[in-house]
Amino acid sequence: MPFAHRYCGLTIHSAFPLPELRNLANPGIADVTVRPAAVPDHLPNPARRLATYEIAGDQALLRLPGIAHYHVTRGGTRITVESAPRVDPAAVRLFLLHPVFALAALLRGDYLLNAAAVAVAGKAVAFVGHSATGKSSLAAMLGRGGFPVVSDSLLRITETSQGTFEAHPQAPWLLLWPDMVERLGFSETCCDARSGLALKRVEQPVADAPIPLGRIALLHAQKARNPNRFKPTVQASSLGFDALHLYDAGRSWLRYIPALRLTHFRMAAKIAAVTPIEQLDLPWELSRHKEMVASLRNWVGEAPDSRLQRSMDGDVNEVD
Amino acid sequence: MTTTVWLASYPKSGNTWFRLFMARLLHPDQHSSDLNSLPLYTPIASSRRLFDDMLGVPSAFLTAGEIAALRPDADAAFNEAGDEPRQLRKAHDAYTYLPDGRPLLSQAPNFAAIYILRDPWDVAVSFASHFNCTLDEAVRRLRDSHLSIARNPRELNRQLEQRLLSWEGHVLSWLSAPLPLHVMRFEEMKRAPLRTFRAAVRFLGLDHDDRAIEAALAACRIERLQQMETETRFNEAPQAADRFFRRGEIGEGVTRLSEEQLRPLLDMYRRVERAISENAAQRG
């Protein structure tokens, strides 16, 4: 395979370029291989068959009309991609690096959260939440405030031999919508995530190595109703393990893979047992994003990484 | 197989009132003073979260056309996952068709609908308050056959885009939908609540008696809902408005709209009434 990349702490060998990912000078052994080829229409005896996916044992199909069909095999270590005619290659890669990769990781036995995360004093602070709760935007705001980004949407968590947990950096970018791109001054350094969509890909520095998992915030972004009370509301979450399960990146498919359900539940329970999990109700008002960042920095409780210090005192558009 | 019953309406037509009633009717012992914690899950047809979870695909990465093409599959998957004979889901979308001819919101036998219809002049007044616009703008939007909500390409909305069409187009689209349909008029819900709500309950195949229906209605009086909203803000209230439950009156639009604003709404209303009469005559 001519191309080798690092993604969520795994080595990907690909037959076609993945320009969104960093190249690996010394590839080593592949954790996942990606190649273009024809993909079967169906799987034999699937545990689940829907228009968009099929699950059968240790393989899966993900079908996106007009974009591509993806076949995940060999227990999630091989991904075959059959692109639709005249499709935007960026669209094919966008889905490859998100739901398809999450599906492959699930079949591999990896544990991924749908989470954006930043590094605070050398530990990962992860924001989990449903779509449109502002996870990536929060990571971007904190990134601008000097806290290195760890992930945009997929956070792979592994257990060390000491029984602690590590978070693996996803990739050197965030996916943001135009309002946030302009608000944070990223307009000159972004590109379209795919054609036909306003979503932008913004480059971000990211660490090379995994870092300890510090805390998890369940994000409930709310619109600011009282402009005079602009503090995030934090409460200890009694959900813990249940909450993690809700944001498991493989949750859509996990119910149809009995062999993996128990290991995933155990992993979630272990993480919840040692990692602080809080519900974060965040007043959301884009025009006051500096106050939002200040509030978040207070909540985070640590100074930003001085190596990536950004000044938030001036106009954000003046930040280099 | 579960049947999904759409609780469909143009916005500001009484949909939330009916859902609150159903929550109380089906769960009379689960009292809650928090409007946001009701014991009845009625996910909206345009729920992004439900779409993503059912299909395993992030809708944020899909174009509006790609999402629309997959919505019937997400709804079918949700139907399959249900373990009750019927599940209620809110819908503000007009009943439209995809380019390949499939209805966006599916059809019989696994789908049915209760359509709540409210006089357009009263919808306009409530619409203006909810969306923080002028009455002129509200009337313009009710007349706009291309109107969509939750459509903002600059940020990600929690809901998927919903095509409303005009108020008239919205009503007519549901009246001609190929699925079992029960029409409720907001004005009759107010004037003759027991009879009107009972008919909807029977359409749903439920056998609750009048005492149970009246108890649920009493728990959902507008004054009580307004009081509950003063205690805990209702999540469905828009940011721009200070509350969700306003007056819920009949005829407010007639007194507040000018003749110039009323005239096009009356024209739409008459055409809708004619269509309803013709529809009834054909079925009768």
Per-residue pLDDT of chain A (320 residues; tens, 9 = 90+): 789 999 999 999 999 999 999 888 888 899 999 999 999 999 999 999 999 999 999 999 999 999 999 999 999 999 999 999 999 999 999 999 999 999 999 999 999 999 999 999 899 999 998 888 889 999 998 888 888 999 999 999 999 999 999 999 999 999 999 999 999 999 988 999 999 999 999 999 887 799 999 999 988 755 544 444 445 555 555 556 677 888 899 989 998 998 898 888 899 999 999 998 888 877 777 777 777 778 777 777 765 544 333 333 333 332 22
Give the residue from A55, A96, A131, A201 with the most B CB atoms within 10 Å of its CB, the best one to mutate: A131
Out of B55, B62, B154, the one facing A198 most closely (by C-beta) is: B154
CB contact under 8 A, B61 and A98: yes
Q: Does B255 touch chain A (CB under 8 A)?
A: no
Q: How many CB atoms lie within 10 A of CB B209?
A: 10
Q: Does B155 touch chain A (CB under 8 A)?
A: yes
Q: Does B276 touch chain A (CB under 8 A)?
A: no
Summarize pLDDT for A109-137 with one digit per residue, the tens. 999 999 999 999 899 999 998 888 889 99
**Which residues 93-132 of chain A have a CB within 8 Å of chain B?**
94-95, 98-99, 103, 130-132
Torsion of CA B67, B68, B69, B72, to 10 degrees: 110
Burial class, B154, CB count within 10 angstroms (exposed 0-12 / middle 13-18 / buried 19+): exposed
Which residues on B lie below 8 Å from A95 (Cβ)? 57, 61
Give the three-state DSSP class for A211. strand
Which residues on B lie below 8 Å from A200 (Cβ)? none
Which residues on A lie below 8 Å from B48 (Cβ)? 130-132
Give the integer Cα–Cα distance in Å for A131 and B225: 29
| Closest-approach residue (CA) in chain A for B69 | A65
The pLDDT assigned to A312 comes to: 30
| Closest-approach residue (CA) in chain A for B59 | A131
Look-up of token digits 């990962």: A124
User: What percentage of residues in chain B have a pLDDT greater than 90?
Assistant: 74
CB contact under 8 A, B63 and A196: yes
Q: Does A227 touch chain B (CB under 8 A)?
A: no
- Provide the phi-psi class of A8: left if phi over 0, else alpha when psi is between -120 and 50, else beta: left
CB contact under 8 A, B155 and A64: no
pLDDT at B218 over 70: yes
Summarize pLDDT for B51-105 with one digit per residue, the tens. 999 999 999 999 999 999 999 999 999 998 888 889 999 999 999 999 999 999 9
Summarize pLDDT for B149-203 with one digit per residue, the tens. 998 889 999 899 999 999 999 999 999 999 999 999 999 999 999 999 999 999 9
Summarize pLDDT for B260-277 with one digit per residue, the tens. 999 999 999 999 999 999
CB contact under 8 A, A253 and B52: no
CB contact under 8 A, A177 and B61: no
ipTM of the complex: 0.90
Distance from CA of A306 to the nearest CA of B (A): 31
What is the rounded average pLDDT of the residues B236-241? 66
**Cα B98 from chain centre:** 21
The pLDDT assigned to B34 comes to: 67
The pLDDT assigned to A234 comes to: 56
Give the integer Cα–Cα distance in Å for A250 and B62: 19
CB contact under 8 A, B56 and A198: no
